[in-house]
Structure 1
Amino acid sequence: MHAVRLHAFGPAENLSYEQTPDPVPSPGQVRVAVAAAGVHLLDTALRQGMTGPYPAPVELPTVPGREVAGTVDALGEGTDPSWLGRRVVAHLGMAPGGYAELAVTDASRLHALPDHLGEAEAVAMIGTGRTTLGILGFTALGPDSVAIVPAAAGGIGTLLVQYAKNAGATVVGLAGGPAKVALVRENGADVAVDYTRPDWPEEVRAGLAGRHATVVFDSVGGDTGRAAVDLLGKGGAHLVFGWAGKGPHDGGPLTFTPEELASRGITSESVLGPAMIERAGGDIRVLELAALAAAADGTLRPAVHRFPLADAAGAHRALETRGTTGKVVLVP
């Protein structure tokens, strides 16, 4: 098979498209003929030798990627034979191996795909979709809500805008550049602005006509995140799930002292990790099932940005430079 391997930590160019031996599923595992593999911003950090959620840098050489969809083409010993030949999607967890034509995973991680749900869309929902629903577990949205979504043209941002609109909320979508702003507006945002413009907070205030935001879904941090928080009214919530800003003063999580929060009358909390899983009842598959069901019935429509598997390096570069929209997916 062909796979993308990383032999040394460093730039995107270190990702090498190579011929490698076909993996063999162990007992209780399946092998998936991959039709789509997800690319996550975390992958770009791991590629550089950062640890992310891992206790140490990943072992090299490695095949990155933790989200795959395709067809089961081989079974390990003792695996339920009904999986063979079925279209499936799986999040590989902490194990890498997704950037490949073939990937192995435990059968317990599989979800069968409905006939009308594409593999690329399923890959978007198994990771990005489940995270989106996990974030939304920290707030209740309705007609009185005013939600600000920075990075609204990204994978999670696209889904947050759709969910909030479905709930009847007023949605403010922030994106970098006119093309992305247009996509955010087409996705349903009531107010869509370019956060690279210095006067964007004034544009938002004008668009809201005196209303204050009730929640900020912050994946950017830095100056952009702080300016968004400044638009919150009393009782507003700042929900943090990243700090990927690329501006000169962006990046890094926002921190507030208890005194600041009390004086503003707002809350601020990180919604990733154990807190999210706890909200899901301790089972991350609950969020995966809900995300896939929402895509299958059309409630949520993931945006997908496809790259050939052979151009995984290009996908990483585009993701790191904000040159993508929606979920980035590699297609063998």
Structure 2
Amino acid sequence: MRAIRLHAFGPADNLVLQETEDPRPGPGQVRIAVRAAGVHLLDTMLRQGLRGPAPAPPVLPTVPGREVAGVVDALGEGVDGSWLGKRVVAHLGFAPGGYAELAVTDADRLHAVPRNLDFAAAVAMIGTGRTAMGIVQFAEPGPGDVVVVPAAAGGIGTLLVQYARNAGATVIGLAGGPAKTARVAANGADLAVDYTAPDWPERLAAHRGEVTLVYDGVGGDVARTTVALLAPGGRHLVFGWSAQGPGSDSPYLVDGVSQNVLGPGMMRRAGGPDPVRTLELRALTEAAEGRLTPAVHRFPLAEAAAAHRALENRGTTGKVVLEP
């Protein structure tokens, strides 16, 4: 099979397309003929040898990638035969192997892909959608809310804008540059603001006293500006801090206002015997029933390095997906 392999930590150009042996599923596992593989900001950190939230950097050489969708083409011992030939999507956890034509995972990680979802959309929902569902459970928007979504053209931001609009909230989406701002407006935001424009704080300040909820994956000066506009009792949910760089572990937080929702707390709130699966199912259901439509930025598998560079340089809109 063809796969993207990483032999040394470093820049995106270290990701190379190579021929390698086909993986074989072990007991309780399946093999997936991959049609779409998700690219995550964490992947760019692991490529550089940074651990981020992962238990450890990957062991080299490795095939990156932790989200795949495709068709089950082989079964390991003990796996229900009905999975063979099914359209499926799976998050591989911290196991690598997604940037490839074939990937192996445990059968209990699989979800059937609804017929009205393509593989790229399913990949977007199993990872990005899962996170979005985890975020909103901390602060469900409603008709009385004015919601600000920084990075509203990104994968999570796109879904948060749609979710808040569906709930009847007024939504202000922030994005960098006219093209991304236009996408945010087309996605349903009531106001789309270009935060690279010099007057963007003034445009946002026109809603002073009304902003009740900020879904913040950016941090830095953008967070400081938006949080300063929160009405009394307003909420600031932090799920990332991309403006502070991939090595940062210091999101912008205000005592009594901000809440960092990443980590174990998200899983505890989801509840149930398998909270990760609970959020995955919720995300896939929202997409299958037409309430959420993920934005997808597609690259051929061979252009994984270009996908990483674009993601790091904020040159993408929506979930980045590789297609073999």
TM-score computed with the length of structure 1 as normaliser:
0.94
* Counterpart for residue 94 of structure 2: 94
What do residues 19-78 of structure 1 show as CA deviations (whole Å, max 9, x unaligned)? 000000000000000000000001001100000122322110111000000000000011
What do residues 161-215 of structure 1 show as CA deviations (whole Å, max 9, x unaligned)? 0000000000010000000000000001011100112321211223x3x542111
Gaps of 5+ in 1: 262-266
Aligned-partner Cα distance in 2 for 1:106–1:246: 35
Offset, 1:313: 0.1
* Counterpart for residue 216 of structure 1: 214
Aligned-partner Cα distance in 2 for 1:211–1:224: 17
Contact residue 25 and residue 105 of structure 1 kept, 8 A: yes
* Counterpart for residue 305 of structure 2: 313
Question: Equivalent residue of 1:99, what SS?
Answer: coil
Identity rate, percent: 69
Code of the residue aligned with 2:291 in structure 1: it is T
* Counterpart for residue 146 of structure 2: 146
Matched, 1:302 2:300: no
* Counterpart for residue 259 of structure 2: 269
Aligned-partner Cα distance in 2 for 1:229–1:168: 21
Contact residue 146 and residue 213 of structure 1 kept, 8 A: yes
1:211-290 pair list within 5 angstroms: 211-245=209-243, 252-256=250-254, 258=255, 261=256, 267-282=257-272, 283-290=275-282
* Counterpart for residue 33 of structure 2: 33
Offset, 1:104: 0.2
* Counterpart for residue 131 of structure 2: 131
Aligned-partner Cα distance in 1 for 2:225–2:282: 32
Gaps of 5+ in 2: none
* Counterpart for residue 21 of structure 1: 21
Aligned-partner Cα distance in 2 for 1:150–1:28: 41
Distance 1:121 1:36, change over 3 A: same
Aligned-partner Cα distance in 1 for 2:120–2:55: 30
Question: Equivalent residue of 1:173, what SS?
Answer: strand
Code of the residue aligned with 1:312 in structure 2: it is A
Aligned-partner Cα distance in 1 for 2:189–2:178: 14
Contact residue 219 and residue 244 of structure 2 kept, 8 A: no
User: Which stretches of structure 1, 4 residues or longer, exceed 4 Å deviation after superposition?
Assistant: none
RMSD: 1.4
Give the number of equivalent residue pairs.
320
